Each structure stands twice: as C-alpha cells, then as structure tokens.
Amino acid sequence: MSKKVKELVTNTFKSRLDGVADCLVADVIGLDANSTVKLRKQLREKNIQLLVVKNSLARRATEGTSLAPAFEDLDGTACVVWGAEDFVSLVKEVVDLDKSEEFEVFKARGGVMDGEKLSPEKVQEISKWPNRMEQLSILSGQMTSAWTTLQSQLTGPGGQLASQVEQKSKEE
C-alpha cells in the first residue's frame, strides 16, 4: 500500500472514530462473505459499528487518543467494534457473538474502556455487569422500596388507631 493510500485510510479511520471513547477489538478473519453480511446486519440493528482495519493503520489513527491502548501489542488484522446504547451493552453483544456457533471465528481480543486496555478476560467479566437500563431499573426499585417503607410506616399507626376507634364504636 502506498504512503498516500495509507494516509487516506488512516484519516478515514480517524474521522469514523471521532468522538468514540470506548471500543472493542475482535477477530473476524475466516468468516465467509455471507456470514460477514449477516454479522454486520445483526450489529447494525443494535446501532453497533464494525470496521475491519489493519492494526498498524489503527495504531497510527488512534495515536494520542483514549483508544490507543486497544491496539498495543496486536498483530495482523482485526475489527473495531463500537456503538450501542452503552459500553456494557456493546460488550454483552460481542461476548454473545463470541459464544455463538454461527460466527465461530468471531473472537473478542480486548478493547479499551475509559482509556484502560482490556484483556479478553476483562471483556468477559464486564459482560456480566448490568447495562444502563438494568442499572436504572435497580435504582428505581431501590428508590421505590424506600418510599413504600416510609408510606407503610406513616399509614400503619393511623390505620391501627382507626381500627380501634371502629371497634369501640361497635361496642356501644
């Protein structure tokens, strides 16, 4: 590849990753064309981007950014995966694809989160975390349970007093 072409590819890659803070790196070498199309379609439906790129060009394009650690010590060609509603949802989707028999050669190789390089093991660990919607659900449940407890503590004595007054009125 000529120097000019490498520069064009690097600039294109930079522009596509502009504003991306976290990403995953996976291996897709060995997928046939039909499987690749199916994989890209499946990811696109979940607002996830996938870009196959040579690691040396990716290192050059991400140099000085928070994504740079993802491409350290990688060789060959890999794909960069980013997007989704939140990073944990992205990781869960990639790990599901990693485990699927349909895309056997798709393997998560690591990534970067908050500027920290992720190993494949760390990616597996993050996939067990609750995603944004699950976290909001947990938070709303905790807030609601506190309110319900307070409500029952406030209405309990009043209800008890009302019951006693009713019993006394029936005795007479």
Q: Which residues contact 20 (CB under 8 A, 6 or more apart)?
A: 67, 82
Q: Could you give the CA distance from residue 172 to residue 169 in angstroms, rounded to a whole number? A: 6
Instruction: Give me the pLDDT at residue 113, please.
Output: 92
φ and ψ of 118, to 5 deg: -110, 135
- pLDDT tens for residues 26-52? 988 888 888 889 999 999 999 999 998
pTM confidence score = 0.74
Instruction: Give me the pLDDT at residue 172, please.
Output: 63
Rounded mean pLDDT of the chain? 86
Count CA atoms closer than 13 A to 62's CA, side-chain side: 25
Q: Which of helix, strand or coil describes residue 86?
A: coil
Instruction: Give me the pLDDT at residue 77, please.
Output: 82
Lookup: tokens for 155: 């209405």
pLDDT (mean) for 106-114 = 90
φ and ψ of 117, to 5 deg: -70, 140
- pLDDT tens for residues 133-156? 888 888 888 888 777 777 777 777
The ranges assigned to domains in the chain are 3-129, 131-172
Query: Kind and range of the H or E element at 23?
Result: strand 23-27
Fold topology of 3-129: Alpha-Beta Plaits (3.30.70)
Instruction: Give me the pLDDT at residue 23, please.
Output: 92
Instruction: Give me the pLDDT at residue 38, please.
Output: 92
